[in-house]
Structure 1
Amino acid sequence: MLCLQGTDAGGHRGTHLAEIEPNGSGWRDLLSEVLNTTDLPVVVAGGVMTAQDVKDALAAGAVAVQCGSAFLLTDESGMNDAYRAGFTASDLTETVVTRAFSGRPARAIRNEFVARFDPVAVPVYPIVNQLTKPLRAAGAATSDRELVSLWAGTGWRHAQSGPAADVVAALAAEVAERRLEGP
């Protein structure tokens, strides 16, 4: 089985070398290309936030989806107060792929830390990660959303609060409906 990560995914990108720039394609662009080169089942990740996204992925040939940001506001999430404040802030409006927190490319919501340090961040993981760790810890301890890594996929605004089981049910709603109706 292969897991295909599109550029819309939050958090660290699936690269083997920190200095490599990951591709800029979403799973929708990559899936047919991958399916044309392998018979292995493919799971898509990155930007899967709604039931329609799940339906689209399965219709395009994926056997399953992997969701991350969709679960960050759930009751079971371990999100700290600073992360939650940034994730839900109406004045933070975009995500970017940055090396500012760890030296590895990762998608995060642009906060003050990203705006200030991304332009000078170097691809030297884990050194950058170790250097920024005390700052991130201080941000978490003081609930300062401007100092923490706000990992999030591009569709983070679709995340719902409540039990994770409710999020799963909502994501699977169209799939379950289609199975009940038949092909």
Structure 2
Amino acid sequence: MTHVPVQVQGIHHITLNGADRQTSVDFWEGVLGMPLIFEQPNLDAPEINHLYFDTGDGRTLTVFTEEGRQPPSQKLAQQPGSLHHIAFWVSQATIRLAEDRLKAQGYGSSGIKDRGFMDSLYFRDPMGLLVELASYKFDPPQGKTHGDVLNLAHKIRLERDGLAIETADVADALARLSER
């Protein structure tokens, strides 16, 4: 019997466990600019509130809240099966300003880290969740996706026996994908 995968089309939403409502609204809307678009009871546990935030691309991030919950006082455990971090796509202009803007709101960060094909900046939300702001350092050629560019850049990296994708690999992939 042939096994056919269940084909996904992208992330629909991500749901996090938050503390009280205001802590979530202050962070996701106030710090990261994700508008609270609606809220309702958690339909599986009506005593829990369910907040829906717009991530900027029409998808949502949702947070379960209860007024008696408080943010944890210690770092979240990194055990198998747990979420390591969540990454949000931002522009190059935004990532260049993010460290100072986060600092002004009381959030420390890693500073910008060059990942070859993208820049990353990490910080923690009030619950201790590691949040990444990620910005591609390229735009794909017309008719191609970021995934197309990265797939070819990976092949170029393997050809040169490199440890990771570097900026030159991306530039070469862009050139090859742009050939007419």
Into which bin does the TM-score normalised by the smaller protein fall? under 0.3
Bigger fraction of residues in strand: 2
TM-score normalized with structure 1 length: 0.24
Q: What's the TM-score once normalised by structure 2's chain length?
A: 0.24
